[in-house]
Structure 1
Amino acid sequence: MAKALWPGLAALGLLALCGCGSSTGRPPQKVTAAPLEREVFVQSIDTVSTLEATDEIELAAQAGGRIQRVLVQSGQSVEAGQLLLVLDQTQLKADVAALQAQSKSDQLAFERLAGLAQEGAATALQRDEFEAKAIGSRQALTAKLADLSYKDVRAPIAGVISDLSVKAGDVLQAGSPFSRIIRNEALQARIDVPAGQANRLASGQLVQLLDGQGQRPVAKGRVTMIDPNINAKSQTLLAKAKIENSQGMLRDGQRLRTRLIIGAERHLAIPFEAVTRQFGQTFVFVVGTPAQWKKDPGKTPLATIERLPAGSNVALQRSVTLGPLQGDRYPVLKGLSATDRVILSNGSGLRHGSPVRLKQP
């Protein structure tokens, strides 16, 4: 019985020596690899900001009265000079009509007396008295027409009506605010910068307002003001930036993730998909040779590595230090060189020293 086992054991030994395609016992894994290139990566401070309108006007009537008509609503865009409210004008219109009649009468009386004065039938003093009366009537009419115009409340600037607090039938007091007009085309970002980053700020630096995911810029501007003092409670420094909002996507009071661009540097770049993380550390796999593997064999016996053909490729795991992800690439701060070829595909099944075969492009 023992003799019958020897041929089978011998066959198993031969299979072990063959290694199923490589001296490590694993067939080469097909992978895609790419050389490293240097790219420009921005240095930035990520924080938050609150938008405020630089053009915001409280609306108040110059004359009081009962509201007859409300011609706008909250959130409506208006043009400069557009009619917003109409106040009761009944008494003023009657006053204007009376003054118009009086002014016309006084003017005709003056003209008749002026003609008589030229003929010597009236004195210059009488003519001057009638002229002064005609002028006074015109001035009274002009003043009353101005009062009447105040009963039509118009927009002083173009913008958006905010928080309209009146309705038809309400009595409006002269000078009492009833709404606001906000121009969202011109906004200012109030940026909260952590105190530890304060010395990196400078006027003119680019500011990007980001979308809800904090990735895509939706608007931009430049730093225009840096407060000299740190807020003791929040431990932040206030910076302000003018923001372009020509498309009207942003609103007064809106709070957004914000990125301050404080500089730019060139680094080796690796794609997002090339990076793996294990136990709090960051790794990538590069294409290496058996000779390179021998310099960092890990737990693999050197004899196993030496059995590999000299021209074969293996995956070498490298610990790397990366900067923040920008787009789909990381800047490499430490751990790789420009001569490395980073493995992009099938990295999840690799281990340090795994035999690999490069896919043809």
Structure 2
Amino acid sequence: MNRRHFLSSSAALAAAACSSSLPLAAQTNPAASPDSAQTPDALNPGGIRVAGIRMVPVFGGKYKVWTKRMGAGPVKVLLLHGGPGFSHDYLEAMESFLPQAGIEMYYYDQLGCGNSDRPDDPTLWTLPRYLAEVEEVRRGLGLDHFVLYGHSWGGILAIEYALNFPQPLRGLVISNMTAGIQSYLKRTAALKTQLLPPATLTRFNAMEAAKDYDNPEYQRIVMDDLYTKMICRLQPWPEPVTRAFGRANDKIYNQMQGKSEFEVTGNLRDWERWDRLHEIKTKALTLGAAHDEMDPADMQKIASLMPNATSAICPNGSHLAMWDDQATYFHHLLAFLKAV
């Protein structure tokens, strides 16, 4: 008997042995609250309070991904984090606002990220595979008539999901993501010209041309001179943001984006969906920010091209406007979620 089979068998036996002694409240109504006892399956114990955490099988059951439910209410929101290769951690601002508003939210670490399985298999890091994973997670969590929220790379996934799986959607939020890589590159090229002094810009462009991305000087300019102005403008960064950067899976990021924030050389380089936005009929909100690496005008343009969409721009925010323009960001997000 191999270790995985032994562990799954032991968990099943333990669940069966303990079920008869559980209090009645822990055996019934598993969806009553995020911390209520859940029904068992191959990946999750039965009758155990697990703070809303559920492991969901993906890729035909070969791997599992981590999810966590917080709050309870008729509006259910599945959160797609950015990257590619980051984790849910930097979205933890959500739990200070959504549950208190009676909104049920679900964190989800994509495969290869955060608390989920992290296989070393480059064939898995593609947009079509991740799109299929979102639907597997949606089904695994039993979500129907739900709101899909996508931030940054998660916004790409959200657009793709709305185009391919519109039926379960109650609403769609695209946060801080444009609808095509060329628009993104145009914006980041303009920003580095605006934000860097001429001598620094010349040196930075020379290192980009030489693909010298691992140069400590290059990394310093990115983190100190650029990210502090267009990714998160707070000083110091909130701990969940720093934690998310520390947990990032660079192998996924490098394969899908590339080694630079300012050149897309990975398999997302040809992604463009401007010409298909009119097909998304779901009620939608686009959220942007004045100082974001995504052009706020693009966020407004996306909304104008979708039949049932509105847009809101955070005047003091950047890419992580849920942190550096928090009041504005959550004012618009909560208003949409309550009305959807």
Same fold (TM over 0.5): no
TM-score (norm 2): 0.18
Q: Which has the larger radius of gyration?
A: 1
Report the structure, 1 or 2, having the larger strand content: 1
Give the helix-richer structure, 1 or 2.
2
User: Using CA pairs below 8 Å that are at least 6 residues apart, which structure has the higher relative contact order?
Assistant: 1
